[in-house]
Amino acid sequence: MTIAHHPDIATLMAFSAGTLDEAFALVISTHLAMCEGCREVVHRTDLIGGALLEAEPDTRLSAGLADRLFAALDDDVSVAQPAPARRSVPDVPVPLARLLPNGLDNIRWRFTGPGVATAELPVSKESRSRLMLMRVAAGRRVPEHGHGGNELTLILKGAYHDRFGTFAAGDLADHDEDVEHQPIAEPGEDCICLVAVDARLTFRSRLIRTLQPLFGL
């Protein structure tokens, strides 16, 4: 698999630091499962972060802190359970397997527009972002739009092109509120993407904007 489009380095650094919101972190985890180059970048970033922590000056702890900590642990003794084995699902990267146990061919899609369908994926109540799958029929286009916030789009199957180039399986588009584009699915195969957003899309078409609340985009 040749991957041409990757997350911004700032996004990878935020992932390494653990500051990405849940939906965005899952998209990056899935991309990392598909991209050896970005795994290496995150590994190096982790090493830099560890070195910076090592360089921090020691901080004196308050008297009795260790005793209080061990006492709290004694009050809540539990037996560690082995981590469940990672489930393998054909055509689904490992980080997504628990959310898509039946693969990409058994998703309950919701009509979102001509040639476009979406499926919401669950995130925790604490998440400030949404996670969803988007399917664009081969040769069809998503209405031209901008982003009210940040968006990560990872191609899982098929491909699309826009003014930034052609995005195929494993490629990731890392967009912010300054970007406007119109993805068009390549002929021959539907394009299925994993998408994380923290705001609604902003469509140019007045009709689409009117119908937008019905589609939840």
> For residue range 106-152, what is the model confidence (pLDDT) as tens digits?
999 998 888 889 999 999 999 999 999 999 999 998 877 666 789 99
> Is it true that domain 1-55+92-217 has CATH number 2.60.120.10?
yes
The model's pTM:
0.79
Q: Where are the domains of the chain?
A: 1-55+92-217
Residues 6+ apart with CB under 8 A from 113: 142, 143, 208, 215
Q: How far apart are CA 164 and CA 156, in angstroms?
A: 18
pLDDT at position 176 over 60: yes
Residue 84 vs residue 49, higher pLDDT: 49
